[in-house]
Every structure is written in structure tokens, then in C-alpha cells.
Structure 1
Amino acid sequence: MIIVTTETVPGKETKEYKGFVRGSTVQSKNIGKDIMAGLKTIVGGELKEYTEMMEEARQKAIGRMVEDAKAKGANAIVAMRLESSAVMQNASEIIAYGTAVTVED
């Protein structure tokens, strides 16, 4: 699956638009990692526990978006975007979305 943030895939011709596709996940941290991250805020530095959690969430959301595109018969996704939002304390939603298309050389 080709995924680009541009409106077209460079070097490819868009043959058919399949429509909007998306994938999302809501991730939260476990209490142990949350305590460690809380302590890190006192001394400063990267909160690796949160960085890892958000990377995992992005990968899940993108994977679900790709499955949506495959189900529609697409071989590429154009104009892909990622967004995040807090849905409750210590939990974030990541959504990946774009337009499913079929492309050829």
C-alpha cells in the first residue's frame, strides 16, 4: 500500500477514487508507566513511556486505515493525515485518515 501526504502519488496515474478511509485507536497508559512519567516531569527530559505509547497508537491507526482502503479495493492512500486528541485524563485518540485510490504507472 502506497501512503502519501500529497494529493497524488508522484510518478503514478490515479485511475479511480475509492473514497474516504480512516483508522483510529484510543490508548491509555498503565498506572506503573504513568507514575514513572510523572516523576520524569520533576527532573525534565523526554517522557519515553508516552513517546512509545503514541508511536504504537499511530501504527495501529495507520494499520486500520490501510485495512479500510484494502477493503475498498485501493492500492494507495493520498492526502493522509494524523490527528490526536485527549478523550479523558491519560487517554488519547489517534486517527489516521485519507482518500483511498487506485494508481498505475
Structure 2
Amino acid sequence: MIITNIESVPGRTIETELGLVQGSTVRGKHIGKDIGAWFKGIVGGEIKGYSELLMEGRDQALERMEADAKSKGADAVVNVRITTASVTGGAAELMAYGTAVKLAPIASAE
């Protein structure tokens, strides 16, 4: 499946738009990571535990969006965006969304 953040697939023609597809996950913080983050806040630097948490969340949201697109018969998802929102003080939602499309067949060279 082709997934892109631009409005088209280079070299391909969009035959049909199948509508909005999305995937999301809610991730919570681990108390051990919170303690580590507190110390990092004092001395500065990247909070690797949170970076990993967000990367895993983005990957899962994209996988779920792709599954939604496949269920609609899509060949690609264009104009993909990823957002985050706080759900509670200790959890955040990561959402991936875009437009599922059916691509025209590739013309064969004769």
C-alpha cells in the first residue's frame, strides 16, 4: 500500500476517492519513565522513553489507518497527517488520517 503525505501519487492517476480513513491509539506514560523525565527536565536533553513511546504510537496509528484503507479496497492513502491530543494528564492519543484512493491501472507499454 502506498502511503504519502502529498495529494497524489507521482506517476499514477487517482481513479476513485474512497473517503477518509483513520487509525488511532491512546498511549499512557509509565511511572518509571515519568521519574526519568523529571530528572531529564532538570538537566536537559532528550527524554528517550517518551520519544520511543510516541514513535511506537505513530507506527501503530499508521498501521491501523492502513488496515482501514485496505478494508475499503484502497491502493493508496494520500494527504496523510498525524496528530496528537492529550486525553488525560497521563495519556495521549495519536491519530493518523488521510484519503483512501483507488489508483488507475498502470498503462502497459506496447
What TM-score, normalized to structure 2?
0.92
Structure 1: where are the runs of 5+ without partners?
Answer: none
The one-letter amino acid of 1:4's match is T
Structure 2: distance between partners of 1:21 and 1:41: 37
TM-score norm. by structure 1 comes to 0.96
Query: In structure 1, the residue corresponding to 2:36 is in which secondary structure?
Result: helix
Q: How many residues align?
A: 105
Alignment of 1:42-53 (within 5 A): 42-53=42-53
Letter of the structure 1 residue corresponding to residue 26 of structure 2: V
Unmatched segments (≥5 aa) in structure 2: none
Inter-partner Cα distance in structure 2 for 1:58 and 1:37? 20
Correspondence for 2:28: 28
Q: 2:21, 2:94 → 1: CA distance?
A: 14
Q: Secondary structure at the match of 1:12?
A: coil
For residue 12 of structure 1, what is the aligned residue in structure 2? 12
Distance 1:6 1:40 in 2: 36
Shift of 1:52: 0.3
Q: 1:30 is matched by which residue type in structure 2? A: H
Aligned partner letter, 1:13: T
Q: Distance in 2 between matches of 1:60 and 1:6?
A: 21
Match of 2:78 in 1: 78
Structure 2 CA distance for aligned equivalents of residues 44 and 5 of structure 1: 32
Q: Give the letter aligned to residue 27 of structure 1.
A: R
Determine which structure has more spread, i.e. the larger CA radius of gyration.
Answer: 2
CA shift at 1:90, angstroms? 2.3
